[in-house]
Structure 1
Amino acid sequence: MRALRPESTIITKASRVMDCPLQSDKSQVFAHADPHAVSEYVNRHVGSHCILMPNHGKPSASLSHRPLANLDLCRISYGGSVRVTSSALGTLYHLQILLKGHCLWRGGEGEHHFIPGELLLINPDDPVDLTYSDDCEKLIVKIPASFLDKACSDNQWRRPSEGIRFSPRHNLGELDGFSSLLGLVCDEAESEHALPLIQEKYASIIAGKLLALLKSNVSYDPLSDGNPSFEHLSQFIEENIKKDINLEHLAQLGQMSLRSLYALFEKSAGTTPRQYIRQRKLESIRNSLSDPRMGARSITEISLDYGFLHLGRFAENYKKAFGELPSETLRRHS
């Protein structure tokens, strides 16, 4: 069991991220701007929300923004006390890290004043109700739900059917290596020589780190020996052998990505999932043709039962698999 560290130590470690620029002037979109103009930009690029500000004073807002693969990085300050609300984020997660000032959060668990170094994770269906202090500044990372789902599948973690949900409050000092990762990601987003493939890798690491480090409803139980996932999938194939089996659905049943599905079948059956399914269909047809109890059913009727719509290609695949045409199999056992 991990020993608890004094809170002062955690906050000191978390505050180190405030020493990192995270985003430079290269990413600046607004400086000394109207907060409502900044809010409108955020609505277009980061997430739908409304702001409510006092009528007195002339606050000046600032915003830096950079996309990185499937993510968006946004550093924002409204320059005055502002209340930010939203009914829900739809299909987005918001990772919000307080850099300066404080922010009052109202949620299902009550209220909490976030201070620099603390992290708020807003789930897609969570209502948003935040009040910024005059000097509040935060980094927001927008993450599409589909991207976290993919990271869950790639790591073969069990995604809940109701969707991934994180607990809202976290401390950056407790997330080992995450501060440094954020700095690297912001640098990569601003790089003049950024490569899409590299940016996708960074974005994937962010998603994987969040799933690994933050408390959520994802199950991380490892697969046991003997490839039970392959046994489960092969049983499903046998039970649905006459149907058109979709590989995406097969991967979902195995709670893995398509790439992992192909690797599993290569390791367990020495072939691809599609070739495995086709071979099992052909073997089932051969068993039917070899059974004298089948009566007068035609080869065409049987092949169509198993989803082979192109009869010439079916006969070719059958002969390649068994060294004879389906008509020859039928004739020998009639």
Structure 2
Amino acid sequence: MDSRLLSERSSVFERADPYAVSDYVNQHVGAHGIRLPAVGHPQASLSHRQFASLDLCRISYGGAVRVTSPALETIYHLQILLRGHCLWRGYKQEHYFAPGELLLINPDDPVDLTYSDDCEKFILKLPTALLESICDEQRWQRPGQGVRFLENRYQLQELEGFTGLLAMVCQEAESGVPLPRVQEHYAQIVGSKLLTLMKTNVSRESLSGQAASFERILDYIEHNLKQDICSEFLAQQASMSLRSLYALFERHVGTTPKHYIRQKKLERVRACLGDPSCSVRNITELALDYGFLHLGRFSESYRLQFGELPSDTLKRRG
């Protein structure tokens, strides 16, 4: 996992003074202060890339450094532990993060972290404006006080496909020719995935105030194919039980909601690949746009449904 999240090409500091690294972090990643151990001479390393409105950072301090900050104010920090361990202290609680665990820090959360000597992290910095714009674009209701993640600790493996998405973002960030529009496209996908994969105070658009008709449910799916629509969420928005939703789909289309949504996503991708007027930079970008984070599974599902690979459809476009 960690080898795909920024390479040596993004190196800014290598075995450097931790205070110099901290000053750089204050400028680019988030305001904070550090406290070094009383003995020893830790050597810090840092890799960094700006990517549209995101910042990608890989950092190690080389010692048991304590990092504190009153609050991040206008940014969110997503921190993935790659090596070692990190002690997080919150209000009346604390947690030792192990490799593969993820910490989500809200803008109003105070920061109190202690790195182990061998600790290394990948940090994704997201501005509040990005998540707000995604909510507004999708017509999701967000509280006036701002978007807030309600749980701050996750196992990375719980967030299906998210590691692969971050790896693609890092690869795109390190590409020789940066394309601003493509970068912004990826940034929107990252923000959207976080809002749908994690628990937040955002309320997505409701289907109706009372039990929705099947046609209304299908129309909702059709207009939200780029979003992650799980069966539980669909049932909640349709004001019916999960069992009733499954029975509705079985009666009308002979399949499950999940399978139906996947079919419709694949059909939309196929339509785009075959339409010369539809701007498609590459198949990977289009697949990500419709939530297919596992590209191997996407290609196989596409082949099973249409009898050919996505590349075959694109070639016929002419």
Partner of 2:4, secondary structure, is coil
Q: 1:178 aligns with which of 146, 154, 162?
A: 162
Q: Indicate the residue corresponding to 1:280 in structure 2.
A: none
Q: Indicate the residue corresponding to 2:49 in structure 1.
A: 66
Q: Indicate the residue corresponding to 1:211 in structure 2.
A: 195
Q: Indicate the residue corresponding to 1:135 in structure 2.
A: 118
Task: Measure, in 2, the Cα distance between the counterparts of 1:128 and 1:22.
Answer: 23
Q: 1:151 aligns with which of 115, 128, 134?
A: 134
Task: Measure, in 2, the Cα distance between the counterparts of 1:109 and 1:99.
Answer: 26
**5+ residue gaps, structure 1:** 1-16, 227-334
Q: Which has the larger radius of gyration?
A: 1
Q: 2:153 aligns with which of 134, 157, 169?
A: 169
Task: Measure, in 1, the Cα distance between the counterparts of 2:38 and 2:93.
Answer: 28
Task: Measure, in 1, the Cα distance between the counterparts of 2:20 and 2:146.
Answer: 33
Partner of 1:112, secondary structure, is strand
Equivalent residue letter for 1:116 = P
Task: Measure, in 2, the Cα distance between the counterparts of 1:120 and 1:189.
Answer: 22
Q: 1:103 aligns with which of 68, 86, 90?
A: 86
Equivalent residue letter for 2:90 = G
**5+ residue gaps, structure 2:** 214-318
What value does the CA root-mean-square deviation take over the aligned residues? 1.4
Equivalent residue letter for 1:222 = S
Deviation track 1:267-309 (CA, whole Å, cap 9, x = no partner) reads: xxxxxxxxxxxxxxxxxxxxxxxxxxxxxxxxxxxxxxxxxxx
Task: Measure, in 2, the Cα distance between the counterparts of 1:222 and 1:189.
Answer: 36
Q: Indicate the residue corresponding to 1:309 in structure 2.
A: none
Q: Indicate the residue corresponding to 2:9 in structure 1.
A: 26
Task: Measure, in 2, the Cα distance between the counterparts of 1:148 and 1:109.
Answer: 28
Deviation track 1:107-129 (CA, whole Å, cap 9, x = no partner) reads: 12610001111110100011000
* Cα offset, 1:194, TM superposition: 2.0
* Cα offset, 1:59, TM superposition: 1.0
Q: 1:55 aligns with which of 33, 38, 55?
A: 38
* Cα offset, 1:193, TM superposition: 1.7
Structure 1 position 38 matched with structure 2 position 17: no
Partner of 1:66, secondary structure, is strand
Give the TM-score taking structure 1 as reference length.
Answer: 0.61
Deviation track 1:295-331 (CA, whole Å, cap 9, x = no partner) reads: xxxxxxxxxxxxxxxxxxxxxxxxxxxxxxxxxxxxx
Report if aligned partners of 2:139, 2:205 keep a CA contact under 8 Å in 1.
Answer: no
Report if aligned partners of 2:169, 2:186 keep a CA contact under 8 Å in 1.
Answer: yes
Tell me the number of residue pairs that the alignment of Structure 1 and Structure 2 aligns: 209
Deviation track 1:239-265 (CA, whole Å, cap 9, x = no partner) reads: xxxxxxxxxxxxxxxxxxxxxxxxxxx
Equivalent residue letter for 1:178 = F
Structure 1 position 126 matched with structure 2 position 100: no
Structure 1 position 84 matched with structure 2 position 67: yes
Deviation track 1:157-214 (CA, whole Å, cap 9, x = no partner) reads: 1111121111211111100110000000000111112210000000010000000001
* Cα offset, 1:55, TM superposition: 2.3
* Cα offset, 1:86, TM superposition: 0.2
Q: Indicate the residue corresponding to 1:6 in structure 2.
A: none
Partner of 1:36, secondary structure, is helix
Task: Measure, in 2, the Cα distance between the counterparts of 1:117 and 1:199.
Answer: 25
Partner of 1:207, secondary structure, is helix
Equivalent residue letter for 1:126 = D
Task: Measure, in 2, the Cα distance between the counterparts of 1:217 and 1:210.
Answer: 12
